[in-house]
Structure 1
Amino acid sequence: MATNKASIANVYYNDQLAGTLQKDGRIYTFIYDDAYRIADGRPISITMPLRAEPYKSDILFPVFTNMLSEGANKKMQCRMLKIDENDYFRLLLATTRQDSIGPITVKETL
């Protein structure tokens, strides 16, 4: 089920708000939270160093794509959650809210 409505999620690094991730149509945007950046927090990825300017891409940033399951596990998750296998953003929101491997969690804002 595709939608043109923008979706926004908070990205946490070790339970500290690091920034926001947004999908608007086919464009993904990540921007670091000012307080996190000014406090000299850790970058969420070596390819996304701390900066005030937003990161924009027409694909989901690799740091988030790498958090997703692959193969049979992905198929099973998508079937159970009723999410299209190509909808990486919805799958990210559904599976990385807690207990993710590594310091990053992603939680949809309401």
Structure 2
Amino acid sequence: MKQAEVYVGKSLAGVLAEDDMGYEFRYDSEYLQSDKAEAVSLTMPLREKPYRDKVLFPFFDGLIPEGWLLDIAEQSWKISARDRFSLLLACCKDCIGNISVIPLEGKEVENV
């Protein structure tokens, strides 16, 4: 299972995971209780119930670079253009905007 922490600004907003069944994004319970909590996307409003889908959520897929920058990422890290989650983990640690996707390596996250 591949997993990543998703930050809004400097606050941990939730965990994004990929497994054999597809994708899941779950907001962090402490983040949901914060007065400063804001949704990572208009298409993924704040809620306790996790988001699940068989394809990578469009908001996260949209963070992946395109064109020549995608070509460089694919060649540098030897990642297939079809492996969207791996591209997200490799390229989106410091995206434009206030969202960061930080890979979780070797850690299991509860309830994902």
**Structures share fold, TM-score greater than 0.5:** yes
Q: Secondary structure at the match of 2:31?
A: helix
**Mean Cα deviation higher: 70-79 or 32-41:** 70-79
Cα distance in 1 for partners of 2:10, 2:48 equals 21
Superposed CA deviations along residues 64-106 of structure 1, whole A, max 9, x for unmatched, are: 11111112221221011110111110011011112x1010000
1:37 corresponds, among 9, 32, 38, to 32
Equivalenced residues, count? 104
Q: Secondary structure at the match of 2:85?
A: helix
**Identity of paired residues, percent?**
38
CA RMSD of aligned residues (A): 1.0
1:12 corresponds, among 7, 16, 21, to 7
Give unmatched runs, 5+ long, in structure 1.
Answer: 1-5
Q: Which residue of 2 aligns with 1:3?
A: none
2:77 corresponds, among 81, 94, 100, to 81
1:25 corresponds, among 20, 23, 33, to 20
Superposed CA deviations along residues 7-63 of structure 1, whole A, max 9, x for unmatched, are: 111000001100000000241000000011111400000011100000001111111
Per the normalisation by structure 1, the TM-score is 0.90
Cα distance in 1 for partners of 2:55, 2:5 equals 18
Q: Show structure 1 runs of 4+ deviating over 2 A.
A: none
